[in-house]
């Protein structure tokens, strides 16, 4: 039996009455008051998530950029110091080892914030490609990460507006942290990177500003409504970036692992596409359910904003057009839905 890891905020979650569950080897809060009120707090005001289980990998040295340009799908030359970029770690088949955000700390030093479950695979993958002049370090244990998300997140924290995918040193009521303008909810907000031993202080300051604590349950429904893929569900080493709709983060004009295969898939057109759908019949789609027209559901849940079932799934390219009817096999019951343009929910539609 494996012991579950705990973030520096574990005791605070317990004190708040969180329901804790195993997730990617960690004991994490899935909810405090409830998934739906937490989801709504983030859509209407501001919520804070402990995402300290995520991994941090640093790549440093005169050849750090060269190593990362060869391993990551997006073009690092499009960003500079103080900027961040969503990108993929790809394998030779164009499959997705992980999706992550890379932060350019300075031209010879980069920080990768990676999925918790992929911390070790990613680190191993990069270590194998380590060059003289590009050192790869797993610094996950040094940091905690708090995501503060929602239309009033900046106002609650007293932070100025800043462009998405930038970062800078900052502080919340005297606790210093790196303020990343990133997130996984489709709302405005920040992700605060803080030394692990100061995480409790930072959490208390954020809570003191009236931000609602939110668990991984709401994090999942929030990201699903805005169609952000979840690695391990919607994307993985056996799904390629083009079929997953992530061609926009693949700089196919540069060379990186799997680029040739991705160019071939793009030219030929993918056989299957990852689409978003909304249910018209009652019932909630769930991961692994068959889609009668072909393919299967990779993520499914109840949308608190639409108040109906929603999901993501791979379908044959011919049935990927918005408006196309789909039939989901909900435990033996055929239930109808239809393909929609991503995202399923957007702020502008309020």
CB of 306 to other proteins, least distance (A): 11
Q: Which of residues 33 and 293 has its CB atom nearest to other proteins in the complex?
A: 33
- State yes or no: residue 55 binds other proteins (CB under 8 A): no
Spell out, one character per residue from 216 to 245, where the chain touches other proteins: x when CB under 8 A holds, - when not.
Answer: -x---x------------------------
**How much of the chain is helix, strand and coil, in % rounded to 5?**
25, 35, 35
Quote the CA–CA distance of 175 and 222 in Å, as a whole number.
28
Q: Are 342 and 227 in contact (CB under 8 A)?
A: yes
Q: Which of residues 171 and 296 has its CB atom nearest to other proteins in the complex?
A: 296
Of the residues 203, 301, 312, 320, which one makes contact with other proteins according to CB under 8 A: 301
Quote the CA–CA distance of 69 and 87 in Å, as a whole number.
11
- State yes or no: residue 282 binds other proteins (CB under 8 A): yes
Of the residues 11, 14, 17, 34, which one makes contact with other proteins according to CB under 8 A: 34
Burial (CB count within 10 angstroms: exposed 0-12, middle 13-18, buried 19+), residue 92: exposed
Quote the CA–CA distance of 324 and 201 in Å, as a whole number.
50
Of the residues 9, 18, 28, 35, which one makes contact with other proteins according to CB under 8 A: 35
- State yes or no: residue 306 binds other proteins (CB under 8 A): no
In whole angstroms, how far apart are CA 285 and each of 295, 329, 334?
A: 13, 8, 11
Of 101-109, 131-139, 300-308, 320-328, which segment contacts other proteins by CB under 8 A?
A: 300-308
Which residue in this structure is represented by tokens 């057009």? 321
Spell out, one character per residue from 142 to 181, where the chain touches other proteins: x when CB under 8 A holds, - when not.
Answer: ----------------------------------------
Quote the CA–CA distance of 54 and 256 in Å, as a whole number.
24
Q: Which residues bind other proteins (CB under 8 A)?
A: 30-31, 34-36, 217, 221, 282-284, 286, 301-302, 304, 307, 309, 331, 333
């Amino acid at each position: 039996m494996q012991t579950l890891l705990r973030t520096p905020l574990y005791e605070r979650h317990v004190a708040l009455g969180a329901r804790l569950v195993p997730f990617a080897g960690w004991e994490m809060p899935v909810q405090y008051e409830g998934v739906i009120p937490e989801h709504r707090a983030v859509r209407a005001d501001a919520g804070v998530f402990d995402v300290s289980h995520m991994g941090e990998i640093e790549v440093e040295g005169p050849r750090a950029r060269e190593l990362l340009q060869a391993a990551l799908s997006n073009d690092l030359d499009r960003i500079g110091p103080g900027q961040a970029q969503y990108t993929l770690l790809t394998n030779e088949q164009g499959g997705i080892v992980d999706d992550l955000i890379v932060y350019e700390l300075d031209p010879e030093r980069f920080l990768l914030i990676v999925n918790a479950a992929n911390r070790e695979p990613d680190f191993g993958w990069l270590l194998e490609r380590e060059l003289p002049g590009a050192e790869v370090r797993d610094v996950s244990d040094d940091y905690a990460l708090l995501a503060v998300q929602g239309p009033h997140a900046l106002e609650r924290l007293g932070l100025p507006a800043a462009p998405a995918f930038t970062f800078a040193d900052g502080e919340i009521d005297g606790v210093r942290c790196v303020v990343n303008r990133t997130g996984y909810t489709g709302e405005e907000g920040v992700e605060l990177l803080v030394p692990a031993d100061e995480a409790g202080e930072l959490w208390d300051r954020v809570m003191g500003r009236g931000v609602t604590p939110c668990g991984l349950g709401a994090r999942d429904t929030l990201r699903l409504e805005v169609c952000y893929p979840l690695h391990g569900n919607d994307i993985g080493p056996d799904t390629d970036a083009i079929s997953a709709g992530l061609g926009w983060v693949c700089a196919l004009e540069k060379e990186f692992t799997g680029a040739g295969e991705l160019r071939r898939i793009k030219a030929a057109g993918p056989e299957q596409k990852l689409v978003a759908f909304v249910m018209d019949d009652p019932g909630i789609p769930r991961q692994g359910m068959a889609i009668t027209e072909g393919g299967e559901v990779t993520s499914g849940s109840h949308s608190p904003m639409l108040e109906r079932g929603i999901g993501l799934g791979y379908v044959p390219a011919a049935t990927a057009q918005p408006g196309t009817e789909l039939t989901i096999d909900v435990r033996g019951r055929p239930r109808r839905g239809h393909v929609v343009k991503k995202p399923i929910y957007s702020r502008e539609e309020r």
